Homo-oligomer: A and B are copies of this chain.
Amino acid sequence: MSRPTIAGVARAAGVSVASVSRVLNGLPATEEMIERVQRAVDALGYVPDSRARSLKVGRTFQLTLAVADVGNPVYVTMMRAVEEVVSAAGYRLVVTTTGPDVVDEVALVRGMARGYADGLLISPIRVDEDLVKSIRECEVPVVVAGNVPAKAGVDTVRANSPKGMLLAVDHLVAKGRRRIAFLNGPADTVPGAARSKGFTEALKAHELQPAAVAEATDFTFAAGRAAAPDLLAAGGVFDALICANDLLAVGLMHELAAAGLEVPRDVAVVGMDDSELAEQSFPPLTSVNLGSAERGRRAAELLLARIEDNERAPRRIVVQPSLSIRRSTP
């Protein structure tokens, strides 16, 4: 006994398939018709086939979320927010990992043409001409969480890294720290470039010179630890440290402790992303909240809105940062 189809229900109810379809989709029908159909549906345990439905209506009620690494806390936060919005709207979420390579991102965007999802929410870690082109030409609506040129012609939600950097520097300066160092992630990434620019600007605003700058090989805990020697070689020249994300900050804090430096007494540390790890680390980490959850939420809403109406002009939303002050700064 295979799964019943709409034809089976119609036969069992003694009505036409059209009537069954109408009742199931809430279109006008007589009480008696609704009753008969419902009875047959229940009796047979009929469930509409979403494959056939997708082909017919040209929509899958699925959205794709593409991030570089589903394990990164900031993506986890975004994903959770996205999942909430999307499922509340009756859509399923297809989660894809692109990896660090831009060609994989391009392949993914092109692959949307197969029509397995109604929209794409992508947070590209690196951006090039090919990617912009593929996004502009994508067969389904695209929303970018991150920075992409306006000529891509799509909705965008991004953080304000420079403003966030300024909040961090303001705070440190207010606490009397002047010799500020910076640990970035890879500068050839979208967030890396933004952080670097923001740090330079923020120091300039305070007429300060960087006390030390280092670049980790990745935005991870391990990379943060590995970058420690570079910074510590400049021993004692900095009394504050800003890290491009929380993982780097926590990794570095472990090495600071190992080197006998106390946080925040000897070195104040500020992370970015304000992920759950910031609250959980010891000491709890002061961190720039770049609004990952809000970005996820708004990006998802933008995507849903665009699916409803693809004619509206692209919007570029910037989510403002805030500073979560904890015990890693004085």
Q: Which residues of B contact A257 (CB under 8 A)?
A: 282
Q: Which residues of B contact A50 (CB under 8 A)?
A: 114-116
Give Cα A55 to B111, complex, Å.
19
With A77-B71, A96-B93, A221-B276 already in contact, the answer to whether A49 and B115 are too (CB < 8 A) is yes
Is there contact, CB below 8 Å, between B94 and A62? Answer: yes
Q: Which residues of B contact A113 (CB under 8 A)?
A: 3, 45, 47
A67-78 toward B: CB 8 Å interface, digit per residue (1/0)? 001110000110
Q: Could you say which interface size class chain A belongs to?
A: 35 or more
With A257-B282, A281-B282 already in contact, the answer to whether A70 and B80 are too (CB < 8 A) is yes
Give Cα A307 to B96, complex, Å.
21
Other-chain residue from B49, B55, B247, B253 in contact with A52 (beta carbon distance below 8 A): B55
Is there contact, CB below 8 Å, between A114 and B47? Answer: yes
| A286 contacts partner chain B, Cβ-Cβ < 8 Å | no
A48-62 toward B: CB 8 Å interface, digit per residue (1/0)? 111110110010101
Give Cα A239 to B251, complex, Å.
29
| A301 contacts partner chain B, Cβ-Cβ < 8 Å | no
Is there contact, CB below 8 Å, between B60 and A70? Answer: no
Other-chain residue from B45, B62, B79, B254 in contact with A70 (beta carbon distance below 8 A): B79
Is there contact, CB below 8 Å, between A221 and B114? Answer: no
Interface residues of A in 249-266 (CB under 8 A from B): 250-251, 253-254, 257
A contact patch SS: helix
Most chain B beta-carbon neighbours within 10 Å: one of A71, A139, A251, A253:
A71
Is there contact, CB below 8 Å, between A49 and B282? Answer: no
Most chain B beta-carbon neighbours within 10 Å: one of A87, A115, A250:
A115
What's the least CB distance linking A267 to chain B, in Å? 15
| A223 contacts partner chain B, Cβ-Cβ < 8 Å | no
Give Cα A110 to B48, complex, Å.
12
Is there contact, CB below 8 Å, between B55 and A83? Answer: no
Q: Which residues of B contact A87 (CB under 8 A)?
A: 96-97
Interface residues of A in 211-231 (CB under 8 A from B): 221
Is there contact, CB below 8 Å, between A51 and B54? Answer: yes
What's the least CB distance linking A11 to chain B, in Å? 19
Give Cα A42 to B97, complex, Å.
27
| A36 contacts partner chain B, Cβ-Cβ < 8 Å | no
Is there contact, CB below 8 Å, between B55 and A51? Answer: yes
Q: Which residues of B contact A60 (CB under 8 A)?
A: 51, 116
| A193 contacts partner chain B, Cβ-Cβ < 8 Å | no
Q: Which residues of B contact A34 (CB under 8 A)?
A: none
Give Cα A177 to B115, complex, Å.
60
Q: Which residues of B contact A276 (CB under 8 A)?
A: 71, 221
Other-chain residue from B116, B139, B254 in contact with A51 (beta carbon distance below 8 A): B116
14 additional contacts (CB under 8 A) given A51-B115, A52-B55, A95-B95: A49-B115, A50-B116, A55-B55, A60-B116, A69-B80, A80-B97, A83-B97, A84-B97, A92-B116, A221-B279, A221-B280, A247-B280, A253-B282, A254-B284
Chain A to chain B contacts (Cβ below 8 Å), 5 pairs: A49-B55, A51-B51, A52-B55, A71-B76, A257-B282
